[in-house]
Amino acid sequence: MTFSNLAFLFTKSQLHCNSFQQCYENAQLQFTQGHLQEAELSLTNAADAINYTMSMVLLNRATIRGMQGNIDGALKDAYKIIDITPLLPEAYLCAGALLTFDQRLTDALRLYQAGIQKITSFVRSNKNNNNYDEKKLLELCQTMNDLQLEVDTINGHIFKKLPQEIMSRIIKMLSYRERLLCAATCRRWRSQLYNSLTKTMWHNLDFVESLDLETLNLQLAHVMDHPEHIRRILLSSRCDAQMTFRLLQFLTRCTRVEVLGM
235 φ, ψ (degrees, to nearest 5): -110, 105
pLDDT under 70: residue ranges of the chain: 1-6, 8-9, 11-17, 127-132, 156-160, 164, 176, 180, 185-188, 191-211, 218-219, 221-226, 229, 235-239, 262
C-alpha span between 78 and 99 (Å, rounded): 10
- The topology (CATH level 3) of 3-154 is 1.25.40
- Residue 91, number of CB atoms within 10 A of its CB: 27
pTM of the model: 0.59
Q: What is the pLDDT of residue 150?
A: 85
Local structure of residue 13 (DSSP, 8 states): P
How long is the chain? 262
Radius of gyration of the chain (CA): 25
Q: What is the pLDDT of residue 250?
A: 77
Q: What is the pLDDT of residue 149?
A: 85
Residues contacting residue 113 through CB under 8 Å, at least 6 positions apart: 144
pLDDT digits (tens, 9 = 90+) for 150-173: 887 777 666 667 776 777 777 777
3-state SS, residue 114:
helix
Q: DSSP letters along 176-243, please?
A: HHHHHHHHTT-HHHHHHHHHHHHHHH-SEEEE-TT--HHHHHHHHHHHTT-GGG--EEEE-S---HHH
3-state SS, residue 260:
strand
Q: How many CA atoms lie within 13 A of 250 on its CB side?
A: 25
254 φ, ψ (degrees, to nearest 5): -90, 85
Amino acid at 258: E
Q: What is the pLDDT of residue 255?
A: 77
C-alpha span between 138 and 116 (Å, rounded): 9
Q: What angle (nearest 5°) sits at the alpha carbon of residue 75, between those of residues 182 and 103? A: 40
Residue 225 region, left (φ>0) first, then alpha (ψ -120 to 50), else beta?
alpha
Listed in order, strand segments (DSSP E) in the chain are: 204-207, 232-235, 259-261
Q: What is the pLDDT of residue 83?
A: 93
